[in-house]
Chain A
Amino acid sequence: MPDIIVPAIQQAIKLITSGDPEVYATVYRTIYVAGLGTLLSCLWSIPIAVFIGLYNFRGKWVIKGIFNALIGIPTVALGLLLFLLWSRQGEFGSLNLLYTLNGIAIGQAILVTPIIVSFTANALGNADTQLRDLAKTLGASGFRTNLRLIRETFWSMMLSVTAAFNRGFGELGIATIVGGSLAGETRVLTTSIALDLNRGFFDIAMAYGVILMAIVIILALTVSLIEHIKNEDITWKKFSFWKMY
């Protein structure tokens, strides 16, 4: 195993330092589609999550169950569905979303919606009932209580947003089917890996994989770091990072 990973890391460093604009462009495109997709999804997912998480209604468990199940929707299935809808014969063909980055972004927005909804609704539902009581006993109305709860669980929401971004960042089905992996236009990290795999260039494929994982890890750590700073678990003193748990 080390003899696979170490050359991959070396190759990854070579790729990054080579200054090849296509490498940077590929990374940028991947971040763009995943980022735009996640942001878009938040627009509708968070209100849905608030509704599911904080209000009780008939059949709530069914809705929750459906969203939970949709978390694992296969990306190729979704990609295929979108392809059929957006092709010239499809209902939404006039939108001209096929083979564009925005098309991939919209596809990923749909893909990650269950993640954001489920995780956030869960976090809200599990929010310390004590805090809810506290807000109420201090005179907050139902709405203000919910607002307070949302703010209290903000970092759990960030977790779900990060998870959503990671899912979009590393998915292959939608990028391939909807985007077409056109060089210079819609090629992203995952489709690059698939392409190099098909060509037999396993080392370059692994290198892209390393880059992908590195970005995901750095992002997760950064979010965690910001959370800890905001919660004043650490200060700017040099070595206090290691004291976090």
Chain B
Amino acid sequence: MEEIFVLENVLEEAKAVSVNLEIVGLQKNYRAVTALKSVSMELKGNKIIVLLGVNGAGKTTLMRILAGLEKPDRGQILFNNQNTDPKELRQISTLVFQKTAMFTMNVYQNLAFGLKIRKVPKEVIPKRISDALQAVRLIGFEKRRAKKLSGGEQQRIALARAFLLDTDVLLLDEPTANLDPNSSTIIEKVIISQKSSQRIIIMATHNLNQARRVADEIVHIHDGEVVEIAKTDDFFENPKSEISRKFINGELDF
């Protein structure tokens, strides 16, 4: 039986009220292309919300806006019922990119980057980093140059880097795209272990099976709009919209 290594800093006391993220009427255009037409939803903590949709549907755009990397043309994002601007969002959330990015430093420095910014005390950092590496099964990789790692290794480092930040919103864009099925499963378990009432996890994936395994809620986005939001089982067994039904069956032509 594999043991699941749980990050120490994840163990928190359950709080009565969970965090919530409310998205109201988000619109985003890039030059002539409308990436998001009008997106509204309400997301709560203690859940993993999976964004499903075909390529170009608007998943990445939505995630980048939630991460505070883009400014929406219209709409609001309320965190705990408070309006936010991109700057605040950057502190509240962190995004793991689909195509991993590594600084030209070694693994330790990459991981420590965010911690140093948040002024985590120096004595605590090494332990946290080694715990994080343990969780993603990359023990002892501290001194390796991050850019020289394989795709899968880089992805796991990127995940560890995000987990370390302990943000309120965790955004993951195809987090296991480069991993073999075995590693995928392990990482899925780590992601699940990140769930807490104080954290909202939003994940984008193509992998329907992964969605089934991991998600508590499914948000199906198509053509810049939210087509359907439902609990996982409801979504897959009883899709309410025609588009969703076609998508699940692999018949969706775009």
- Complex A–B touching at CB under 8 A: yes
Contact B104 A139, beta carbon cutoff 8 Å: no
Contact B94 A138, beta carbon cutoff 8 Å: yes
Q: Show 15 residue pairs from A and B whose CB-CB distance is below 8 angstroms, ordered by the A residue.
A: A128-B101, A134-B97, A135-B103, A136-B69, A136-B90, A138-B113, A138-B114, A138-B165, A139-B114, A139-B117, A140-B113, A140-B117, A148-B113, A152-B103, A231-B104
Number of A residues near B (Cβ < 8 Å) is 18
In the assembled complex, the CB of A184 is this many whole angstroms from the nearest CB of chain B, namely 46
B67 at the interface (CB under 8 A from A): yes
Contact B104 A152, beta carbon cutoff 8 Å: yes
A144 at the interface (CB under 8 A from B): yes
Q: A130, A140, A148: which contacts B97 (Cβ < 8 A)?
A: A130
Chain B residues in 8 Å Cβ range of A137: 67-69, 90, 93-95
Cα of A141 to Cα of B93 in the assembled complex, Å:
14
Interface of A is mostly: helix
Chain A residues in 8 Å Cβ range of B64: 133
Interface of B is mostly: mixed
User: What interface size band does chain B fall in?
Assistant: 20 to 34
Q: A128-B101, A139-B165 are in contact. Are A133 and B69 (CB under 8 A)?
A: yes
Q: A130, A133, A144: which contacts B117 (Cβ < 8 A)?
A: A144
Contact A136 B68, beta carbon cutoff 8 Å: yes
Q: Which of A115-136 contact B (CB under 8 A)?
A: 128, 130-131, 133-136
Contact B161 A139, beta carbon cutoff 8 Å: no
A232 at the interface (CB under 8 A from B): yes
Chain B residues in 8 Å Cβ range of A152: 103-104
Of all chain B residues, the one with the shortest Cβ separation from A138 is: B114
Of all chain B residues, the one with the shortest Cβ separation from A139 is: B117
**7 closest A-B pairs (Cβ-Cβ)?**
A138-B114, A134-B101, A130-B101, A137-B95, A139-B117, A137-B94, A133-B69
Chain A residues in 8 Å Cβ range of B161: 138
Of all chain A residues, the one with the shortest Cβ separation from B90 is: A136
Contact A139 B91, beta carbon cutoff 8 Å: yes
